[in-house]
A and B are shown apart, each in its own frame.
Chain A
Amino acid sequence: GAVVSQHPSRVICKSGTSVKIECRSLDFQATTMFWYRQFPKQSLMLMATSNEGSKATYEQGVEKDKFLINHASLTLSTLTVTSAHPEDSSFYICSARHPGQVNQPQHFGDGTRLSIL
Chain B
Amino acid sequence: AQSVTQPDIHITVSEGASLELRCNYSYGATPYLFWYVQSPGQGLQLLLKYFSGDTLVQGIKGFEAEFKRSQSSFNLRKPSVHWSDAAEYFCAVVSYGGSQGNLIFGKGTKLSVKP
Chain A interface (Cβ within 8 Å of chain B)?
Answer: 4, 6, 32, 34, 42-44, 46, 49, 51, 57, 91, 93, 95, 97, 101-111, 113
Contacts and interface: CB of A to CB of B under 8 A. Distances in A.
A6 B43 contact: yes
Interface residues on B, range: 20 to 34
Label chain B's interface by main secondary structure: loop
A49 B102 contact: yes
A38 to B, nearest CB: 9
B34 A105 contact: yes
B38 to A, nearest CB: 8
A71 B108 CA distance: 29
A87 to B, nearest CB: 21
Q: Which 5 A-B pairs have the closest CB atoms?
A: A102-B101, A108-B43, A108-B44, A103-B32, A110-B43
A106 B32 contact: no
A13 B90 CA distance: 30
Contacts of B18: none
A72 B45 CA distance: 26
Which has the most chain B C-beta neighbours within 10 Å: A4, A49, A106?
A106
Given A108-B36, A111-B43, A103 B94 contact: yes
A110 B40 CA distance: 10
Contact of B102 (A4, A6, A34, A111): A34
Contact of A105 (B49, B90, B108): B49
Contacts of A108: 36, 43-45
B41 A102 contact: no
B46 interface: yes
B43 A93 contact: yes
Interface in B34-73: 34, 36, 41-46, 49, 51
Nearest to B10: A41
A103 B51 contact: yes
Contacts of A43: 90, 105-108
Given A43-B107, A44-B90, A102-B94, A97 B41 contact: no
